[in-house]
Homo-oligomer: A and B are copies of this chain.
């Protein structure tokens, strides 16, 4: 092959023009307008386009009056996204919450004592000496858990008073009812009749204090998880349309799509995740994988998307755009 013969490879040309939108970013001339910025994300490409798609899907969930599942990992509550979650529930945008046990633990603590800003890099052995727990770039002084222990024992006395075997949703609801902070996720869920599913209730400090409580006060109390699973499934069966917003992945995300399988798949789905597809994990699996399982429906118009991003960066933008 000589240079001339290469041209067909290098500059093949193309005939038809594509009829998709032009790639074009926000125009920073003139006064800044947040809504227009988010609109411009649709044609900015890469993950900005994914976020614009997520906003669009979240808006359609509402137009279609979908039953909205909000799922999140515990660290969402550790962070300042707790307030955004509480807002969504308070304003009636959310119908079902699914999360892990750290969320419950930390939401209660924050009604009494804040978490503190910290540092990613620290001398952890020294922190341990001082009783300071590191959680990414946040610090949680251990006195929070001293307070929590006492608070929970009082609650456990009431919670197990009439029945010894209870469910995680009852736990979340009755605990939420004791709280007074308007920014509490559990309080808002309790006040607004939004069930909070948390099958692995033991896997956080509430689990630790249940252990101590059983040791010290009543070894017969228990948490049963099949009742909740039934409710979650059957509640989904009643819905004409469902929408799912998964902030972070893991068990909460899977619990939502797995139970939507019974009704033939979720109708609208937004994932926000840092998971890696190539590790074959549930956390990293994009929505399309769930289509093969029947856990998410596939429609003609885009009804699911994944934003590959750390949630604190993008969830507030989603809330501000689709839920205000």
Give the interface of A toward B (CB within 8 A): 1-3, 6-7, 9-18, 20-29, 32, 34, 37, 40-51, 73-75, 78-84, 87, 100, 102, 114-118, 120-122, 124-125, 127-128, 130-139, 141-143, 145-146, 149, 165, 199-204, 207-208, 210-212, 214-215, 221-230, 233-234, 237, 248, 250-251, 254-255, 258, 261-265, 274, 276-285, 288-289, 291-294, 298, 307-314, 316, 319-320, 323-324
Contact = CB atoms under 8 A, between A and B. Distances in A.
A181 to B, nearest CB: 12
A262 B6 contact: yes
Nearest to A224: B222
B21 A117 contact: yes
Given A79-B280, A210-B229, A310-B308, A141 B44 contact: no
Contacts of A292: 122, 124, 127-128, 132-134
B225 A223 contact: yes
Contacts of A24: 80, 83, 114
25 contacts: A10-B145, A10-B261, A10-B262, A10-B294, A20-B139, A23-B115, A24-B83, A40-B80, A40-B316, A42-B117, A46-B278, A47-B310, A48-B310, A100-B251, A120-B277, A125-B298, A135-B280, A165-B165, A165-B222, A199-B199, A201-B225, A207-B229, A223-B224, A250-B283, A274-B276
B75 A115 contact: no
A264 B134 CA distance: 17
Contacts of A211: 3, 226, 229-230, 233
A161 B142 CA distance: 45
Contacts of A80: 23-26, 40, 43-45, 48
A227 to B, nearest CB: 7
Contacts of A132: 14, 18, 292
Count chain B CB atoms within 10 A of each CB in A51, A138, A285 and give the residue with the most.
A138
Contacts of A2: 237
